[in-house]
Structure formats: structure tokens, C-alpha cells
Amino acid sequence: MSRALAELAAAGAVRDDGGLWTATGTPAGEAVAAVAEARERRATLDASRVELVRTYTDTTDCRRRLLLELLGEVRPDPCGACDSCDRGTSAPARSTGVRPGQAVRHERFGDGTVSVVEADRLTVLFEEHGYVTLDAAVALDSELLTVR
């Protein structure tokens, strides 16, 4: 019940007045549509987070740099201490002109924020599509992705 009320409150259909929930007058159909849309966005974001974990496990690049970039810290050089660095597969980040935290726009996915810059890939958190990993050369050279 509390989850349903929280979703309805986020949709603007109900309001918590000190423990007493009251309707705001939003038509039921609009409220249900807003809740369904919010659930769909959350499911898309959750699926993209799973993909991001896959990116972490599959990377041959510096894992520490990947995690720090996800947290918004720019680290161009490998850490030298993770398993990828120990194997010698990490390399300094390729200069793409894009850095974590930058606002970008993708032709298909819309507006987003760069989360991770790897040697050949960019991971971007898009407002509507969650985390998406892109081939850096294709996205930038074809101008599918533009820095805002």
C-alpha cells in the first residue's frame, strides 16, 4: 500500500497531509498513465544498470578508473593496482574531447551525461534510456553524439 501511495504521490494524484493521504483531483486515467510511465522508466534504468555491471566485469581497461568515472571523477591514467593494470591491458584514456560529467545529446537517445570514457567506448546516462555504452569513434566521428 505504501509503495502505491508513493507512486501516486510522485504522479501528483495524492498528497500526504501529515499522515492523511488526500486526492489532488488528478483524473484516475492520468494518474495510472503517469505511474505506468514512471515504472517503465525505472525498469529501463534498472536494465541499463545491469549492463553497466557487465561493462565493469568485461572491461580490460582499468577498473578503478571506470568506477571513479562513474562517480564523476576524471582519471586519465590507469591506477596500476587492479587486475587489468596487472595484466597490462589498461591504457591511458584516449583523448576524445569528451570527459565524464559532460552533457551530450545523441541523435537516437536524446540528452545525457557522460559517465565513463574508456579507450574505445563511452558510457552515457541518458535521461530516458538509462546507461548506454557507445563505440566512441562511431558516436563521435559520425556526429551521432554531440557535446552540449
Name the nearest CA neighbour of 111 among 93, 97, 129.
129
Name the nearest CA neighbour of 144 among 107, 98, 109.
107
The predicted model scores a pTM of 0.63
Residue type present at position 49: R
What's the grid cell of residue 46? 534498472
- Cβ-contact 125, 131 below 8 angstroms: yes
Looking at residue 58, its pLDDT comes to 86
pLDDT tens sequence across 26-82 = 898 999 999 999 999 889 889 888 888 888 898 888 999 889 888 878 777 889 999
pLDDT tens sequence across 82-132 = 999 999 988 776 667 888 889 999 999 999 999 888 878 899 999 889 999
